[in-house]
Amino acid sequence: MKETTESPRSKALIVMGVSGCGKSTVAELLAQRLRWEMVEGDRLHPQANVDKMRRGVALDDADREPWLDLIGAQLKAWAAEGRSGVITCSALKHSYRARMLAARSDLVFVYLKGSEALIRSRVQARHHEYMPATLLHSQFDTLEEPTVDEPVLTVDAGESPDVETQAIIQALSLTVAPA
């Protein structure tokens, strides 16, 4: 009898939180260590959203709908193809997270949680293509922290990216790919 091996089931993570919490850095480290695909959620914003943020205007729910649809499409594609991946997305509201979960029910959110003072110091020290530091407060105002009924792992954004990444891998029992 021929022995068969099943391929492991694909997984998907959304690394979430306000601008400057470390989403991109942590997502890149996760993707490297796990050998998963990584998509920078900001790259999926329609040009109208980018232009609006560059002008220092916060996005509203209607602005975010096409962006969330594109993230959902990526999640569905990975599931259909049996691939694992990680996407960065602020996912500030429960309704946004519910929309992504509708696209892929086995999705897990990794919430990089930090104080406004910590995140402000990071945002002021960096240059972002179209997210000015002046919009940070609006993100905290919009943020609806995940609740216990959501598939979320909360990680302290005040740790180093390496420590945060290792904590995520351990907490979710993920397998690091061999070097």
Any domain includes 114: yes
Per-residue three-class SS string for 73-118:
HHHHHHHHHCCCEEEECCCCCHHHHHHHHHHCCCCEEEEEECCHHH
Any domain includes 64: yes
Any domain includes 145: yes
Predicted structure pTM score:
0.88
Q: What's the total number of domains in the chain?
A: 1
CATH number at residue 39: 3.40.50.300
Helix, strand or coil, per DSSP, at residue 12: strand
**Residue 155 pLDDT:** 98
Range of the domain at 64: 12-171
Label residue 139 by pLDDT band (50, 70, 90).
confident
The better pLDDT of the pair 133, 109 is held by 109
Label residue 5 by pLDDT band (50, 70, 90).
very low
